[in-house]
Amino acid sequence: MPPGIPSVPGAKVVAAFERADFTVARISGSHHVLRHPDGRTVVVPVHAGKDLPKGTLRNILSIAGMTVEELRSLL
């Protein structure tokens, strides 16, 4: 993949976060709320067949304290 934010669907982002020890705490509509044991909480919108907008993914990574490289290694 080229450098920068990858284009990925929300379901793949949820799976990547689960590999990083986040667990799905609850699902509210199309939003998956994930929690890490250290207390970090992120919300990932999951819409079938659609990639997350790059700005949304960048914000999710910022809230989670994760870099793009870390996300790429988990995908």
Is the CB of residue 70 less than 8 Å from the CB of residue 20? yes
Does residue 68 lie in a domain region? yes
Domain that holds residue 42: 10-74
Is the CB of residue 43 less than 8 Å from the CB of residue 50? no
Q: How confident is the model at residue 1 (pLDDT cuts 50, 70, 90)?
A: very low
- Residue type, position 37, single letter: P
Q: Given the structure tokens 């920068």, which residue do they identify?
A: 4
Does residue 1 lie in a domain region? no
Residue 32's nearest CA partner among 50, 5, 12 is 12
At 7-55, the pLDDT tens digits run 899 999 999 999 999 999 999 999 999 999 998 999 999 998 899 999 9
CATH of the domain at 55: 3.30.920.30
Domains of the chain: total: 1
Q: Name beta bridge partners: 41.
A: 35
